[in-house]
Homo-oligomer: A and B are copies of this chain.
Amino acid sequence: MKDSQLHNVKSLKAVQSEVQIYNKVALSVDCVIFGFEENKLKVLLIRSDMKKFQSRWSLLGDLLNPNEDLDDAAYRILNQRTGMDDLYLEQVNTFGKVSRHPGGRVVTVAYYSLINVLNHKLQILDNEIHWHDVNAVTDLAFDHQDIFETCLKRLQKRVQEHPLGFNLLPNKFSLRELQNLYEAILGIKLDRRNFRKKFFAMDFLVDMEEIETNVPHRPGRLYQFDYEKYEKNKKKWSGIDF
C-alpha cells in the first residue's frame, strides 16, 4: 500500500478537478476613493445604473478578472476611473452577505485609496462621477453605505498610526494644509502649536525653502514628506496619537 493511499493524500490532478466542481461566486472589488479639496475630505462616487437604486450613489467597483490578483483589480479600477497611477491602496474588509446584491450572490472586497486630487485632474470626465463631501454621504446603493463607513473609520485609525495623509496632498504643502487635512479626516480641531511641534519632532518633513504664493496673509513655508527617511526609521515610529 502506498503512502498516498495510507493517508488518503490527494494528487495534484485530483485537487484540480476538485476545485473545478467547487461552488463558485461572483467576486467584485469596490473602492472608496478619498481626495482632499477645499479643506474637505471627499469621496468619489458614481451614480448607480440599477433601476432599484435609481439615482442613488455608489462606490466605484468592478468584477475580479479570472487571472487577476485582488490588489491588481483594485488598482485597475482606480486607474480606469481616474487615470491616476500613483496612489495609496489598502484592503479593508470583505462583505459577503447573501443578499447584498439584488442581482444574485456577489461577494465584494473593499479597498480604500488616497489620491492627490490636484496633481491629477480626473481624466475620465464621466459626468456621473463626482466628488462628495464625506459628511454628506448618505443612503448609498447596495451595502455601500456600510462599506464606506467602515473604510472611513479605518482611514481615521490608520492616519493616526502611519503618515498616510501625505498621499492626499500636493508634493509640497504648508503646515496649515497638513493640519486642515488631519482635521478634515478626524473631524476634530487641533491645537496649531502642538500640531507643529508633533510633526517637527517626527523629523520627516523636509523644508523646501519655498513659501506659499497668492495667499492674503503671511505665506507659510512649504514642506515635503521624506518617504525614505520614514521607511528607515519606521520601527521607531509609534503613531501620531492626537
Contact = CB atoms under 8 A, between A and B. Distances in A.
Contact of A70 (B8, B67, B69, B107): B107
Interface of A: 4, 7-12, 15-16, 18-20, 22-27, 47, 49-52, 54, 63-71, 91, 93-98, 101-107, 109
A220 B104 CA distance: 56
A92 B93 CA distance: 7
A7 B56 CA distance: 13
Nearest to A68: B98
Closest 3 pairs between A and B when the two form their complex, measured CB to CB: A70-B96, A19-B103, A24-B24
A9 B91 contact: no
A18 to B, nearest CB: 6
24 contacts: A8-B49, A9-B49, A9-B51, A10-B50, A10-B51, A12-B50, A12-B102, A15-B50, A15-B52, A19-B26, A22-B106, A24-B25, A25-B64, A25-B66, A27-B27, A64-B96, A69-B96, A69-B98, A70-B94, A70-B95, A70-B97, A71-B96, A91-B93, A96-B109
A143 to B, nearest CB: 12
A67 B7 contact: no
